[in-house]
Amino acid sequence: MSKKPVLGKGLGALIPVYEGKEESLQNATYCGIDQIDPNPAQPRKSFDEEKLAALAETIRNRGILQPLVVRRKGGRYELIAGERRWRAAKLAGLERVPVVVREAEDEESLEISLLENLQREDLNPIEEARAYRHMLERLGLTQEDLARKIGKDRSSVANAVRLLQLPREIQEEVASGTISEGHARALLALTHPVEQMRAVALIKEKGLSVRDTERYVRQYKAGPRAGKGKGSTLDPDTQRVQDDLSNRLGMKVTIQKRGKGGRLLISYGSLEQLDRLCSLLLG
- H or E stretch at 114: helix 106-119
- Report the alpha-carbon distance of residue 78 to residue 101 in Å, rounded: 10
- Report the alpha-carbon distance of residue 90 to residue 259 in Å, rounded: 68
261 — phi, psi (to 5°)? -115, -150
| Catalytic residue (choose from 83, 111, 116, 181) | 83
| Known catalytic membership, residue 23 | no
Amino acid at 124: N
Strand pairing report for 68-73 and 96-101: parallel
88 — phi, psi (to 5°)? -65, -35
For residue 114, how many other CB atoms are within 10 A of its CB? 27
Catalytic residue annotation? 83
